[in-house]
Structure 1
Amino acid sequence: MTISVLVVCLGNICRSPMGEAVLRNEALKRGITDIHVDSAGTAAAHLGEDPDDRTIAVCNTNKVPISHSARQVRASDFTSFDYILAADGSNLRALERQVSQSEGSKAAVKLWGSYLPDNKPIPDPYYGGQDGFTKVYEQCVKLSNAFLDEVVGKES
């Protein structure tokens, strides 16, 4: 059975495409191939754009393949994904408003940080420097592994 995961941030050019790429990469490193990962934004500001250059740079530095075109969360996402993981509380609230209007939702909508004891949101690095993107990458690696541990099982 394939697990489907949607990672969500505001504009879908920084945190969520990085999270998508990192989660897919961490799953493949564990030999998990029956996972479908995508990302989206709660806002429509960057539709069709590639990820931020700094997101791409951090992924390339860490040998994580990344290819994505920004899109907005759709009503159908709530019925086609098993998990919808929000980068922060603001995006979680936006998703919760949408899911309440979505008929037949099957998705578990959660703060991605809830898979770790500290329950930390992923800070938006957009207005900062490259260091912020590196920190988001490191957090995405930890969150990806915590998510996979809970949903698929601990690494052997």
Structure 2
Amino acid sequence: MTISVLVVCLGNICRSPMGEAVLRNEALKRGITDIHIDSAGTAAAHIGEDPDERRKGVPISHSARQVRASDFTSFDYILAADVSNLRALERHVGHKEGSKATVRLWGSYLSDNKAIQDPYYGGLDGFTKVYEQCVKLSNAFLDEVAGKES
């Protein structure tokens, strides 16, 4: 059975594409290949743009897109980078119309329940922190949905 995951931030150029790439990489390290991962933003400001070049060297081929109503019926999990985006997802019409997706703050998979801070207006250090957080969150998520790492 394939697990499908959508990682969501505001513009889909920093946190969510990095989260998508890191989650995919962590799943592959565990030998998990039956997983489909994508990312999107709650806002339309960056549609069609490439991920921010400061993304810590994480390889990804992605064009920014906005969350669609169909995402709520096609993904098993929708993971929000922060509470603001979680609330936007919960207000989205797709969330109300036949949603099968579990919509959660990605940080809720760890006991600290921290949001992923937006590094867009900062320096490279912010992207490094986001990368490190995405690695931890990816493993916590995979532990819960696919079983503990051996």
What's the counterpart of residue 113 of structure 1? 107
Tell me the distance in 2 between the aligned counterparts of 1:121 and 1:106. Answer: 23
Alignment of 1:89-108 (within 5 A): 89-98=83-92, 102-108=96-102
* Post-superposition CA distance 1:27-55 (Å, at most 9, x none): 00000000000000000000000000101
* Post-superposition CA distance 1:44-74 (Å, at most 9, x none): 000000000101xx0x2xxx43111000000
Tell me the distance in 2 between the aligned counterparts of 1:25 and 1:148. Answer: 11
Three-state SS of the structure 2 residue aligned to 1:141 is helix
Three-state SS of the structure 2 residue aligned to 1:39 is strand
| Structure 1 stretches lacking a partner, 5+ long | none
Is 1:78 equivalent to 2:72 in the alignment? yes
* Post-superposition CA distance 1:78-110 (Å, at most 9, x none): 000000000000000000001575411000000
What's the counterpart of residue 52 of structure 1? 52
Is 1:9 equivalent to 2:9 in the alignment? yes
Tell me the distance in 2 between the aligned counterparts of 1:126 and 1:155. Answer: 32
What's the counterpart of residue 149 of structure 1? 143
Tell me the distance in 2 between the aligned counterparts of 1:2 and 1:65. Answer: 23
Confirm or deny: 8 A CA contact 2:72 2:95 kept in the other structure: no
Change (3 A) 1:29 1:99: farther
What's the counterpart of residue 23 of structure 1? 23
| Structure 2 stretches lacking a partner, 5+ long | none
Confirm or deny: 8 A CA contact 1:8 1:40 kept in the other structure: yes
Tell me the distance in 2 between the aligned counterparts of 1:75 and 1:9. Answer: 16
Tell me the distance in 2 between the aligned counterparts of 1:39 and 1:100. Answer: 16
Tell me the distance in 2 between the aligned counterparts of 1:100 and 1:51. Answer: 25
Confirm or deny: 8 A CA contact 2:89 2:95 kept in the other structure: no
Confirm or deny: 8 A CA contact 2:71 2:94 kept in the other structure: no
Three-state SS of the structure 2 residue aligned to 1:54 is coil
Aligned residues: 150
Is 1:129 equivalent to 2:131 in the alignment? no
Tell me the distance in 2 between the aligned counterparts of 1:123 and 1:35. Answer: 26
Q: For residue 47 of structure 1, what is the amino acid of its counterpart? A: I
Three-state SS of the structure 2 residue aligned to 1:7 is strand
* Aligned-residue RMSD, C-alpha: 1.0
